[in-house]
Structure 1
Amino acid sequence: GEPFAASPDVDGGFVGGHVAGLWQFNQAVIGARAELNYASIDASALLDPGNAVGTEVKWLGSINAEAGLAVDRWLIYGVGGVAFAGIETSQDVGGSGFAKTRTGTGWTIGAGVDYALSSNIVVGAQYRYYDFGKEHFDVPDDFSDRDQDLKLHTLGVSFSYKF
């Protein structure tokens, strides 16, 4: 088919868990963090009547380095690393459609703040940017091959138990 360009809004949510190993030296904190989330994040675009393309992120995770500054009960940190996601690409033309899911890899960077409610309970907020690069999708006949360039901005809250 003809090439096309579309930049739909990507929205949705995610829920998951993380494990982190952090070490503190005076006020400096360094460590590693791994995260895995179930996601319901999607975007779709109508190319013309009866012809819709879609992208859905079904899960996302990352393996990261983390560094921050501890002040009293607060930890302000930066985080970044390798990101992974289960990305479904789909198209529906006149009621017939296809969907293909693959694991995308990319990178992520972000920042956050944590507050220790007690010696074991920590709450926090985190902003992350994810970039999964450009990926080419060859699709069945009658559908439109495409290059998909997926980027996400996420805002999350966390509840952690410190051992």
Structure 2
Amino acid sequence: MKKVLLASVALLGLTAAASAADLPSRRAPAPIVAAVPVFTWTGFYVGVNAGGAFSAGDDDIVFDGGTITGDSDDDASFIGGAQAGFNYQMGSFVVGVEGDLQWADFGSTTYDLGADGLYTVDSEDWFGTARVRAGVAFDRALIYATGGFAFTDNRNGWVVGGGLEYAFTNNLSAKIEGLYVNLEDEDFSVAGTTYSTGETDFGVIRAGLNFRFGTY
């Protein structure tokens, strides 16, 4: 009888343990941690910029009778404007396009035309560029080269340069950039004589701030 009772107690203990094992756990589920998004330069952006432009020309005009050197009001100018563009990142490489419009004022240049008197040529008070950009990204830092088409209201040309851009938040980035702009010559006539200003070229150093859409 005693052996039967011990066997029954043991059987009941095993049954209770098995039932307890089938009960749901009272432990709290492990928290789900979202993956940190990977930063990317891909996306559209708009921004503003400001800096300086420095004329590299000699202010000469040419005509059939020779060359005349003019007296320029100013060979340097404050510039400011806005830009917009798009980047696409492939691994560490970033390519994109950017366009900008800039206000600038180099003043005017006065020429002594001899018997025809003094003649003043006003410089353009704005210019724009449409460029491609290509560079290498080091996480939030981007080193790039750029080049493309430059224009004003009546002249066209080309532009090359490069810069450094850094994204200090997920949507805001700042850049510093240098450009060289070359515009084709411009003709004008005085008393039946045609003069040519020759090419206009100038350097640009500017800083900019971009707001980037649709990025993490």
1:68-87 map, 5 Å: 68-86=135-153
CA RMSD, 1 decimal: 2.4
Determine whether 1:23 maps to 2:23: no
Contact kept, 8 Å, 1:11 with 1:43, in 2: the verdict is: no
Determine whether 1:34 maps to 2:99: yes
1:125-140 map, 5 Å: 125-139=176-190
Q: Name 2:196's counterpart in structure 1.
A: 147
Q: Scaled by the length of structure 2, what TM-score is found? A: 0.60
Determine whether 1:54 maps to 2:104: no
Q: Scaled by the length of structure 1, what TM-score is found? A: 0.78
Aligned residue for 1:80, secondary structure, equals: strand
Provide the C-alpha distance between the structure 2 equivalents of 1:10 and 1:47, rounded to a whole number of angstroms. 19
Structure 2, unpaired ranges of 5+: 1-62
User: Percent identity at matched positions?
Assistant: 23
Contact kept, 8 Å, 1:78 with 1:112, in 2: the verdict is: yes
With over 3 angstroms needed to count, the CA separation of the structure-2 counterparts of 1:128 and 1:106, relative to structure 1, is same
Which structure's residues are more often helix, by fraction?
Answer: 2
Runs of 4+ in 1 over 4 A off after TM superposition: none
Provide the C-alpha distance between the structure 2 equivalents of 1:113 and 1:79, rounded to a whole number of angstroms. 11
Provide the C-alpha distance between the structure 1 equivalents of 2:119 and 2:92, rounded to a whole number of angstroms. 52
Q: Post-superposition shift, 1:69?
A: 0.7
Which structure's residues are more often strand, by fraction?
Answer: 1
Bigger mean CA deviation after superposition, 38-47 or 14-23: 38-47
| Amino acid in the other structure paired with 2:179 | R
Q: Post-superposition shift, 1:55?
A: 3.7
Choose between structure 1 and 2 for higher RCO, CA contacts under 8 A separated by at least 6 residues.
2
